[in-house]
Structure 1
Amino acid sequence: MTTQPVLGLLYMLNTLRAQGFDLAPVLASYGLSEAQLAPGARIDRTLELRLLCDLAGRLPRADLGLTLGQGFGFTGYGPFSFLLLTCANAYEALQCGLRYQQLTFLFSPLSFVPGDRESALCLTPLELPEPGRRFLVDVEMAGTYKLLLDLQNNLGLSLRAVRVEVPYPAPADSRPYESYYGCPVRFGSEQTRFWIANEHLQLKLPTADPTAHAYYRGQCDERLAQQLQEQRGGDVVTQVRQHLALYSQGYPDAAQVAAALGLAERTLRHQLSAAGSSYRQLLDETRFSRARQLLLGGAQSVEQVALALGYAEAAAFIHAFQRWAGCTPAAWRREQAAPE
């Protein structure tokens, strides 16, 4: 089972509660309560993603994710935060952040793009149904930048971005984004980018401590090893099914699902094979279930159902449905509508 620290979720829930949001009904629908969510626990990644997508659809403002991401506490990262503080310079801290990103609250993978004068810290967003995708982008962008600002405030250094790129179309009001990031914000990129001046990345950290750094690196390595052991023993088939259930129109490919589960695509395929399944089989199962729901609804044509399921043309859907049900979608719909 692939898990996340539940603390990241708790930070978001605390901010929502402070704003008067009633959390009990949302949590109850997933068999959870705030009392059950102990700060030191971990939560299944697919469960948290489903919960976050659900929350996104209930929030009164589309940009509220920007506020929630700012609620992440620096010391909540545990040994990871102290590993960053004991690095020799800001660049080394950034590289440690990349190496140990699985110890953060992120779902989306981090990467680094070096440049001549400026370099970019990048977040590649998960492919989720809207409004979940934008919500998670906002939360993770704000949370990542909050970590940079916390480092800056603890060290007395300047790590502010010179510009920020956001991977969705510009909202009606972009002022909250420009106010928080304190620099020009460009919307419509393919991924998140925080552009930072290279001269800032070369700044030496006043808290640099090679001995303590080695100690915290050892602790971080132990945590990564524990996570890897958890992933080997998890029910990956159920996790893939639960993730695909998030989608009502179009479906992600295997690489995108693997990213959501915190796995490499090759690892995901290997684990599914070991469990006697495959991504294609689970996707077909999900599509077949969804196709039956849409066909029974009766409001959509076969062509519209095909489009909703992510097929480029109706013929491919009809062929797949015949393989699943032994008849065409139209014939199956007539059979279900016929009186007994």
Structure 2
Amino acid sequence: MFDSPLSASAYDVLGVDPTADEESLRKAYRLRLRQTHPDTGGDAAVFIQVQRAWELVGTADARAAYDRGHGFGDAPAPEWSGWRAPAARTDTRPRARSYGHPGGWRRERYLTLIREWAGRGVTLDDPYDPALVRSAPQHVRRLLADALAEEATARIVAELGMGYTVWHDVAPSGRGADPDAKIDHIVLGPSGLYGLLSEDFGGPVRLRRGELIGDGVDGAPIATLVARMRGLARAAGVRFSGAIVVLPDDDVLQVIDEIGKVKGTPVAIVARGALSTVLRRGITGVRAIGGNEVFDVRTRLQQAVRFA
């Protein structure tokens, strides 16, 4: 939860300064527990955040480790790998057939904008330094958060095996279209053909009238995903089985939430840890795809897909 470039720090969640002494930290924790407890009208998702924050900074050893790893305090931060591009794989296990570069477009935009924000002519020793990222403008941090979310999803779907084909960073159809208006992932397998949106809004989200809401949610992400899928479906001559929105485990109260149809497309909101389960079994009511049909759909998509 607190490793997201967008999420509040453990100190922000507890409502204290990072320099607060032990007693002030403990008082703040108890106050936030009372304020957020569901039995007294608080928000269950925020209540969980408060408990998690205390786990990270509630003891001297845990707090010291958290501060070092997140750029707080005077101690130098250790090597931070969580926000860097993933290393090349070294195992040789059979994986899903994959095309495109997950998170690539947004990570490149992040590197460009973080350098522009730091100042022209300034050489950044580490564009992923936690203190630097935390101080960057929200729209810059959002690019990195989305890139990380897409990369995390890509690692999961790669493990589905050889029966699946995945396209990442699929560009919108139409000349001159905004590359940000892309589909993060398309997954084809025996359980169906799915369009995926990998998101990190920096905090808990909820559903209202078939759409996501929350402090970090802009626009209508579910409706936008479905619209982009419909455009590609027309261009490729295929039919999507459903849409899946993938969110960090800590940001949803329900691990798998099948919310019904949006514009005729079945939609599920899924915690990242449950994604492989959903993709293997499919969304409820969606029919399986046979071998010859999988081959035909894959061929049509290969001819139609372009990358951002």
Scaled to the shorter chain, the TM-score interval is: under 0.3
The structure in which a higher percent of residues are strand is 2
TM-score w.r.t. the length of structure 2 is 0.26
Higher relative contact order (CA 8 A, sep 6+): 1
TM-score w.r.t. the length of structure 1 is 0.25
